[in-house]
Amino acid sequence: MTTVPLASMNLPRHVAIIMDGNGRWAQARDLPRIEGHRRGVSTVRMVTETASELKLDAITLYCLSSENWKRPQAELDFLMQLLQQYLVEERRTIRDQNMRLRFIGRQDRLSDDVTREIAKTQAVCKDNTGTELVLAVDYGGRDELTRATRQLVSQVQSGEITANEITEERLDQTLDTAGLPEVDLMIRTGGDIRISNYLLWQISYAELYFTPKCWPEFEREDFQAALDEFGNRQRRFGGLNVGA
């Protein structure tokens, strides 16, 4: 296995990934769509292990969007089962890699079995100090912003804050990702070139990286290529490069 050269890169603090192309990868091989999701778990393991090795602050994975509920019920049931299985089987690994676990999105539509395993995994990792693994489940950027806005309106109505106290910083701390650094690098696999309602606020200044490779075939070398690309880009945040 190729080893990522840890000392040679200008690394992002926070990487977000849209894990796309599972179903298409399977169908291209005359396999059921759910087999693509199953194979994708090994890619999840690879990127989380790499993020931990590199000591990234956070890695956020788009597991299930709020729009994915439109998919066939059998596929949704399998995805929930796969998530529950992942939480059980990877719990010790996440703990031993000193990773913390956070979920963003809604949990009120998840099964009791899934929410129970979420709580168990978070409990065994609560004292860890390494990379934060963030799983976006039943997540949508617009929904997150709507929920945050409602919370701020409620605080204004109760007199807790005034309307003038609603700043970018306060809104940022009201989002599901409160306390996390802004996303530096957003990766999307599967060939589509769009952000699909993912972390709309948090990727305002992120570098975007798109690859035609589907998620089950996204390997460590591909992750390396995305990190290398990030390291070679000039990030000006609206300003000018020195000497420009």
Cα-Cα-Cα-Cα torsion 113, 119, 121, 124, nearest 10 degrees, comes to -140
* pTM for the full predicted model: 0.91
If you search the block for the tokens 């999307």, which residue do you land on? 188
Q: Which residues of 60-88 are buried (b: 16+ CB within 10 A; e: fewer)?
A: bbbbbbbebeeeeeeeeebbbebbbebbe
Instruction: Report the distance separating Cα 104 and Cα 121, nearest Å.
Output: 15
pLDDT tens, 201-236?
A: 999 999 999 999 999 999 999 999 999 999 999 887
CA nearest to 101, candidates 66, 70, 73, 128:
128
Q: Annotation-wise, does 188 bind a ligand?
A: yes
Residue 24, annotated as binding a ligand:
yes
Q: What distance in Å separates the CA atoms of residue 20 and residue 6, rounded to the nearest whole number? A: 27
- Angle (CA) 156-161-163 rounded to 5° is 60
CA-nearest of 196, 224, 193, 197 to 211 is 193
**111 has binding-site annotation:** no
- As a whole number of angstroms, the distance between CA 137 and CA 98 comes to 22
What is the DSSP code string of 88-141? Answer: HHTHHHHHHTT-EEEEES--TTS-HHHHHHHHHHHHHHTT--SPEEEEEEEE-H
The pLDDT value recorded for residue 244 is 45
- 72 — pLDDT class (breaks 50, 70, 90): confident
Question: Catalytic residue among 68, 98, 128, 197, which?
Answer: 68
Residues in the chain, overall count: 244
Known binder of ligand: residue 215? no
121-129: long-range pairs with CB below 8 Å, 24+: 121/87, 121/90, 121/91, 121/94, 124/91, 124/94, 124/95, 125/94, 125/95, 125/99, 125/100, 125/101, 126/100, 128/95, 128/98, 128/99, 128/100, 129/98, 129/100
Residue 91 marked ligand-binding: no
pLDDT of 7 strictly over 80: no
Active site residue 176: no
Sheet with 207-210: list strands edge to edge: 100-104, 132-139, 58-65, 14-18, 185-188, 207-210
Task: Kindly list the structural domains of the chain, giving each domain's residue range(s) and its CATH number in brackets, ordered by start.
Answer: 12-139+182-232 (3.40.1180.10)
pLDDT tens for 170-204 read 999 999 999 999 999 999 999 999 999 999 999 99
Task: Give the mean pLDDT of the chain.
Answer: 92
| Other Cβ atoms closer than 10 A to 180 | 19
Catalytic residue, chosen from 20, 176, 184, 222, is: 20
Residue 143 has pLDDT above 80, yes or no: yes
The whole-number pLDDT of residue 238 equals 67
* pLDDT confidence tier of residue 243, bands split at 50, 70 and 90: very low
Is residue 20 annotated as part of the catalytic site, yes or no?
A: yes
Pair type for strands 58-65 and 14-18: parallel
Write out the two tokens for 83.
């998530």
- Show the tokens assigned to 167: 């700043």
Which tokens hold the place of 22? 């599972």
Judge whether 37 is annotated as a binding position.
yes
- The string of pLDDT tens digits covering residues 102-128 is 999 998 888 899 999 999 999 999 999
